[in-house]
Structure 1
Amino acid sequence: MAIAARPHTPITRPSREPAPALWVVARRFGAVSEVWMRRQVNAMSALDPRVVCWERHPGESEPVRCPVHVLGGSGRDDPGAARWLDRLGGLPTRNFAGAPRAEREALLNLARRERPDAMLVHFGHVALRVLPVAQTLGVPLVVHFHGLDLSQSLRNRWYRWSLWANLRRFDAAVCVGSHQRRLLLEHGMPADRVHLIPCGVPTSEFLPTPREPGDGPVRFITVGRLVEWKGPHRTIEAFANAVERGMDATLDLVGDGPMLEELREITRRLRVAQRVVFHRDQPPRAVREMLRASDVFLLHSLNAQGASEGFGVAIAEAAASALPVIATRCGGIEDQVIHGRTGLLVDQHDTRAMSDAMLALARDPDLRRALGDAGRARTVEHFDATNQVRALEGVLLNAVAARRGVA
């Protein structure tokens, strides 16, 4: 059953009171695959954000409206004996993923100068890294989980042990899928501190441009990293099967990753290389234009290598563009796509079922339009970025008020 994000009511503050200072902490900032982070920061109005990160992505294509402090380094565990000493130091709290001593001191010094009222930390491993800093200063920390940090990353025993042991030390946890919420509750996080708030998309920026039936081949598009758990190989296999059965169509793949050359070879082997275009990474504006020029969105996400889909931002962008979605039953996708109403869902690895769905939509422009219109309406109502940011600000303001003892 699809589950929409629950509403949150932010605490109001007197108009003369300055907005609380917020640290938005992430390992990297500005990556094309994490455009939702910039959207969150730029949409905030009840808080005064500033970004703290270890790396700023050089390909950042759109401006951010707040200061960005780059710490340098990788924000990852250092190999060797020093890391074992840091882990030993984390034994009292069972947080074996905390920042190394020198990095912790640098963060403490920066925080004492900037005096944040709260920290919003993206991804569980980064939250564990800065948790000792937040606790030392008495600053509330809200962890924002996304996907791999509640799936694939749990295969690392040090991260897993640290997360479950320290979960209740976070002032609140934000997750993007109902399956993640269930997992957090199973591991002891109080229900009133777990908030289901998908990242959302700015729906006003993704305006549909209907194509007339018969206006050339049907244009399919998929957007995502070219990694196994995003299933681009299965998408190409399903597409090739539909073409073999008479479908006149093209496929645009937007994204980059380690499977690129393997996927090119698959298109040649299946004789669809002339119909498939690899666009690699594209800036957000280009992605919007490509979605507007397409007919159907595809995503064959898989529970592979321990990974599971959190919230499909690309799916939400496609739905906001009034594209019908064909996707797999995987993680948070089932919260987004209502089978038969806003798109079509198939089982993982079932390329024949995906091929059947492609053929059905390729042959029926009225069905494409009906599913696409319903998908956009649902996205505007439940997954608009502005509403999601207001809900997120409410969680953060409540965390600040609770630490200050405000009723």
Structure 2
Amino acid sequence: MPRVAVLRHQLGVASEPFVLEQARRFTRYEPVLVGRDPLPADADPGLPVVTLAQRWGATAAAGYAAGALSWPLTRVLREVRADVVLAHFGVEGAHALPSAQRAGVPLATVFHGFDATCTRAALLRARRASWVTYVRRMPRLARHGDLFLPVSGHLRERLLARGFPADRTVVHHLGLDLGKVPAAAPAGDGRTVVHVARLVEKKGTEHLLRAVALLAARGSDVRLVCVGDGPLRGALERLAGELGIAGRVVFTGALANPDVLAHVAAASVLCLPSVTARSGDQEGLGQVLLEAGALGRPVVATAHGGIPSAVVDGVTGLLVPEADPAALAGALARLLDDPALARRTGEAARAHVLRSFDVARQTGRLEDLLDGVLAARGAGGGQR
């Protein structure tokens, strides 16, 4: 059985359950998780794990992060006898490229959002060593990487505009572990909207707060639960107070995925009003949209980034323009005030997720793509 090294620099991130969910669903490949940083103390991925920091020490891991050292990952790939590398995020792909080439194994890279949409200038301004390396190596990655897997058609278009080859750039939805989602969620609270996101500019939380204020001014008893944390939390809490809706809004902070799902199930509508950040950062797909759909919850979101790949407007949810609180308020009111419409939309959302986003089926398709990469190498494709 061929072995796939699943690379994510920070393994076990609470907001990224999809990395482990996919890895656990390989059936024709044996997965080994490879990280740069140590695992969180409470992480239990249930798969073999090797991290550069624990294997070679913090100095070697830092040198790898800065793009100065490739040997730490090269040696790990050889030690685990990897046949192919699957890197999650373009940053990881760019860092892995020299190591994969030296180890003689092909490299597939999954692009999730910012890594295909943030401007080079914004990545450099962040002054993160790994992002600087990504910018520097991006052209080389585009030339020599074996397979590029954007999670939506929108991200594919952005990659092609940056010079990635069309014949090696294939849309691939990661999917959702439907086993973790109740088969039939209980009826949600008819006046509660849930928003699940890192509290950063891209997620558009400010516009949602303004939409809730508009609904409150019209006499609606709408309530909002914001699940997640981030650098804008303090400013958003202050904005809720300034808008006079602090008593209607709960900020839970970051939660484990089962608790996130519980909040989604308890609400009647999920809202993800993502916008294009000043850095150019855009939504890749919005995994929480799939979770809401699997729970039979309709969504209100923006026609932004890869969101239309997950939400069928007017069927599984309602899409509105970016940064438009009035349009958000109108779409939320439609679903909150019409339980029958919300129920029909939620049922359609669940059917859509079951049909198109099951992680077992999607991972099988991924294995087919990796088979093609290995076959190309075996047929004399060699290193690019």
TM-score strictly above 0.5: yes
CA distance in 2, matches of 1:205, 1:107: 33
More helix by share: 2
1:20 deviation in Å?
0.6
Counterpart residue type for residue 326 of structure 1:
V
CA distance in 2, matches of 1:28, 1:74: 16
The equivalent position to 2:215 in structure 1, one of 236, 242, 267, is 242
The equivalent residue for 1:251 is: 224
- C-alpha contact 1:217 1:248 (8 A) present in aligned 2: no
The equivalent position to 1:350 in structure 2, one of 324, 328, 332, is 324
CA distance in 1, matches of 2:221, 2:231: 29
Q: 1:262-301 maps to which residues of 2 (within 5 A)?
A: 262-301=235-274
Q: Deviations over 1:128-170 (max 9, x none)?
A: 1111111112101001111110111533465445313431311
Residues 33 and 56 (structure 1 numbering): CA distance in 2 closer, same or farther, change over 3 Å? farther
- C-alpha contact 2:192 2:223 (8 A) present in aligned 1: yes
The equivalent residue for 1:5 is: none
- C-alpha contact 2:93 2:109 (8 A) present in aligned 1: yes
- C-alpha contact 1:51 1:66 (8 A) present in aligned 2: yes
- 1:65 and 2:40 equivalent? no
The equivalent residue for 2:16 is: 34
1:312 deviation in Å?
0.4
The equivalent residue for 1:308 is: 282
1:294 deviation in Å?
1.1
The equivalent residue for 1:110 is: 76
What TM-score do you get using the length of structure 2 for normalisation?
A: 0.89
- C-alpha contact 2:93 2:141 (8 A) present in aligned 1: no
The equivalent residue for 1:209 is: 185
CA distance in 2, matches of 1:98, 1:129: 9
Q: 1:8-407 maps to which residues of 2 (within 5 A)?
A: 19-58=1-40, 60=42, 63-72=44-53, 73=58, 99-101=67-69, 104-152=70-118, 154-155=120-121, 156=123, 159-160=134-135, 162-207=137-182, 208-211=184-187, 218-305=191-278, 306-405=280-379
CA distance in 1, matches of 2:360, 2:345: 24
CA distance in 2, matches of 1:98, 1:168: 21
RMSD: 2.3
CA distance in 1, matches of 2:81, 2:136: 30
Counterpart residue type for residue 224 of structure 2:
L
What TM-score do you get using the length of structure 1 for normalisation?
A: 0.84
Counterpart residue type for residue 325 of structure 1:
V
- C-alpha contact 2:36 2:61 (8 A) present in aligned 1: no
CA distance in 2, matches of 1:247, 1:121: 46
- What SS is found at the alignment partner of 2:192? strand
Q: Deviations over 1:172-206 (max 9, x none)?
A: 11111101112333444443322211222123432
Greater RCO structure (CA 8 Å; 6+ sep): 1
CA distance in 1, matches of 2:363, 2:300: 27
- What SS is found at the alignment partner of 2:331? helix
Gaps of 5+ in 2: 125-131
Q: Say which is worse superposed, 190-199 or 331-340, in terms of deviation.
A: 190-199
- C-alpha contact 1:142 1:174 (8 A) present in aligned 2: yes
Gaps of 5+ in 1: 1-18, 79-85, 87-96
- What SS is found at the alignment partner of 2:37? strand
CA distance in 2, matches of 1:180, 1:144: 11
- C-alpha contact 2:271 2:300 (8 A) present in aligned 1: yes
1:265 deviation in Å?
0.9
